[in-house]
């Protein structure tokens, strides 16, 4: 089966959720899934759930806090480590679906470059489906992708003071 490049971006909720939904669907079909989460570290509810699937592997490469302002050396090192791991996973070709979660945001924060993301597309074997999520997808990445979905925020209860809820937002 031919694999394509999908990008989920925009300022609305649902980018990671869309990627995880695709991972669930792929695992249900017997496909192997590898997810690299940039800028994330911790036991989010989805990590607990994904551990129950023997076809889905997740690795996190974040410092455990939001990147604010200029990224720290630790944040840069974690991101670079994740990127290098992702390149090795893609080149090995042992998974059917690979998700670079928050890779666009890592690019927006200066932790990755648009060229880094384009390199992932360049090295992708024909059979791998590659999903890149996160706000602020570079135009060059969207141009190269086969599918681009922009999540648009129209209304969100967060603006009324509702904090992230376990099992829904985290």
Q: Which residues, other chains included, contact 131 with Cβ-Cβ below 8 Å and sequence gap of 6+?
A: 5, 6, 7, 8, 19, 22, 97, 98, 99, 100
CATH topology of domain 5-132: Rossmann fold (3.40.50)
pTM for this predicted structure: 0.93
Q: Give, for all 170 residues of the chain, the pLDDT tens digit.
A: 899 999 999 999 999 999 999 999 999 999 999 999 998 877 788 888 999 999 999 999 987 766 667 888 889 999 999 999 999 999 999 999 999 999 999 999 999 999 999 999 999 999 999 999 999 999 999 999 999 999 998 888 878 888 888 887 77
What does the alpha-carbon distance between residue 70 and residue 68 come to, in Å, rounded to a whole number?
A: 6
């Amino acid at each position: 089966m031919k694999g394509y490049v999908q990008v989920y971006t925009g300022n609305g909720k649902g980018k990671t959720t869309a990627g995880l939904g695709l991972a669930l669907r792929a695992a249900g079909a017997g496909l192997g899934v590898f997810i690299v989460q940039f800028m994330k570290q911790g036991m989010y509810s989805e990590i607990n759930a994904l551990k129950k699937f023997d076809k889905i592997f997740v690795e996190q490469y974040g410092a455990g806090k939001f990147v604010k302002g200029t990224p720290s050396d630790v944040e840069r090192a974690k991101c670079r480590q994740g990127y290098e791991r992702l390149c090795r996973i893609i080149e090995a070709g042992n998974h059917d679906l690979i998700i670079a979660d928050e890779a666009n945001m890592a690019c927006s924060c200066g932790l990755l470059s648009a060229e880094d993301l384009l390199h992932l597309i360049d090295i992708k074997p024909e059979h791998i489906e590659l999903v890149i999520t996160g706000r602020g997808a570079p135009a060059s990445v969207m141009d190269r992708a086969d599918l681009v979905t922009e999540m648009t925020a129209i209304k969100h209860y967060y603006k009324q003071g509702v904090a992230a809820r376990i099992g829904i937002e985290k």
